[in-house]
């Protein structure tokens, strides 16, 4: 869990509503996942054991799946493609100069 949350720190700027979904996962980073995943309720007899999921576990699974989907489908995040022509775009003003290495994706740099 910590490595996934660490990698999300970089991608957070590309994910809409990141804080909403990540807060659920940050709350569980110190938790014992096995204990949260299943809560056993006994009905008194040997056959009457019911296993229910904790609400926090259900929310965490939903948030995890949503964040994975948002990372894959982020419209502004494009990874470097070796088959496309790279372009250096230079920005300058009286006070500063900068450059960015970009590639065209669907008519947008």
pLDDT reading at 77 higher than 70: no
- Predicted pLDDT of residue 71: 82
Which pLDDT score, from 0 to 100, does residue 87 have? 93
Q: What is the pLDDT confidence band of residue 88, given thresholds at 50, 70 and 90?
A: very high
Q: Residue 104: its pLDDT value, please? A: 85
Report the pLDDT averaged over residues 73-95.
85
Torsion sign across C-alpha atoms 81, 86, 91, 96 = positive
Residue 51 and residue 39 in contact, taking contact as beta carbons nearer than 8 Å: yes
Give the whole-angstrom CA distance, residue 70 versus residue 81.
Answer: 20
pLDDT, tens digit (0-9, with 9 covering 90-100), for 1-60: 777 788 888 778 878 888 888 888 887 776 666 666 555 555 555 555 555 556 777 888
- Alpha carbon 98 to chain centroid distance? 30
């Amino acid at each position: 869990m910590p490595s996934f949350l660490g990698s999300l720190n970089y991608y957070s700027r590309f994910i809409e509503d990141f804080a909403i979904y990540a807060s659920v996962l940050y709350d569980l980073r110190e938790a014992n996942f096995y204990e949260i995943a299943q809560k056993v309720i006994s009905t008194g007899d040997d056959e009457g054991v019911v296993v229910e999921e904790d609400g926090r576990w259900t929310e965490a699974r939903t948030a995890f799946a949503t964040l994975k989907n948002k990372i894959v489908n982020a419209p502004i995040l494009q990874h470097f493609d070796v088959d496309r022509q790279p372009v250096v775009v230079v920005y300058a003003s009286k006070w500063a100069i900068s450059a960015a290495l970009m590639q065209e994706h669907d008519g947008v740099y």
